[in-house]
Chains A and B, each alone.
Chain A
Amino acid sequence: MAVINGVDFSRTVDDAIDAARAIVTDNWDEVRDILRNIGDGLANDVAFIAQKKASGEFNEDDARIFLEDQKMLARIRLRSIAIITLQLAEQIWNAVANIFRAAIRQALGGWIIL
């Protein structure tokens, strides 16, 4: 790949990929915890219905209505995961662009075109 004005763009690509990978690695624990939290929440809700049914506090209608609310909750949870994922995509995109911005500026003798 071209070396322009002392800037090795092979190296720039590697740096950009490393920057993207670092973002995913840094946030993976947090993403994993959120996903685990959602999974645990769903399992707990099923246990809640079973417990209320056994104690006679929930009839079939109560369980049905609770599940209707759960469907709305699932929509909110899915969107929140999407927001987090898009946020990650945005970070990766911008990190890669930053690496190229600096390299292009140096290669073009200080011109700011990006």
Chain B
Amino acid sequence: MMTTVDAIMKRKLVLAIGFVFLGILMSGCPATLVQPYDERLVTDTEALYKKAASIIEDGRVVSPRTDQEREAISDPENHPGYFSAFETKYNGLIVDTEALILRAMASSEEIDKVGQQIQEQINKLIDAGSESQCKELADEFGKVSLTVQNYVDLKCIILRWKERHDDDSFTQNKKILKKANWEARKRIIFNGILAIQQAEAFKKADQQ
């Protein structure tokens, strides 16, 4: 037999469920919490990976293995691993990431108000946990979707790569990286693009 307490609890539960569904009903239309899958964005991101991986391999092949080998390079400016040999390539990658940011921004308008607020909070949480290495760049774009912010961070990573290659302190006054620096970059770009593409692939699986 149902006790009075059970009956009250059941009523409360039914009311709680009712309020949840009422909220859904009152929203009136399907929720759009993330921006839709964009095939072009996925293929352009893959193209960026191929280009970056190719530049990284070019750098790895010509670069010294250890600090001692780098120290022994007497004419660094004429070495194939010198910064100037890669400056244009870095600039090309930076332009490519900007194009990806633009592309991602175009479809981010489709996220509804609730989705925008949730994404903004998630971005704040991530910033609080680990601040961007490119504060000005992050401030320039301000409140953008999670997808757009991922491309902003990708641009930041490449900007930092360019700065470090040109950094006398980091390269021991040679402006030449070591093979292991290039290998580390390969790991970063591979895993970064993989994470971005996994999120997009998940959206695609939902649409099929």
| Residues of A that sit less than 8 Å from B by CB | 1, 13, 16, 27, 30, 34, 37-38, 41, 44-45, 48, 52, 56-59, 61-62, 65-66, 68-84, 86-87, 89-91, 93-94, 96-97, 100, 104, 114
Contact = CB atoms under 8 A, between A and B. Distances in A.
Determine chain B's interface SS by DSSP, over half rule.
helix
A36 B104 CA distance: 27
A38 to B, nearest CB: 7
A56 B66 contact: yes
A96 B191 CA distance: 35
A102 B16 CA distance: 22
Contacts of B28: 114
A79 B25 contact: no
A45 B186 CA distance: 11
Contacts of B196: 76, 80
B180 A76 contact: no
B198 A84 contact: yes
Interface in B155-185: 156-157, 160, 164, 170, 178-181, 183-185
A76 to B, nearest CB: 5
Nearest to B146: A79
B119 interface: yes
A94 B31 contact: yes
A100 B27 CA distance: 12
A79 B147 CA distance: 8
B118 interface: yes
A87 to B, nearest CB: 5
Contacts of B185: 69
B180 to A, nearest CB: 4
A79 B149 contact: yes
B139 to A, nearest CB: 15
A96 B184 contact: no
Contacts of B118: 86
B184 A48 contact: yes
B5 interface: no
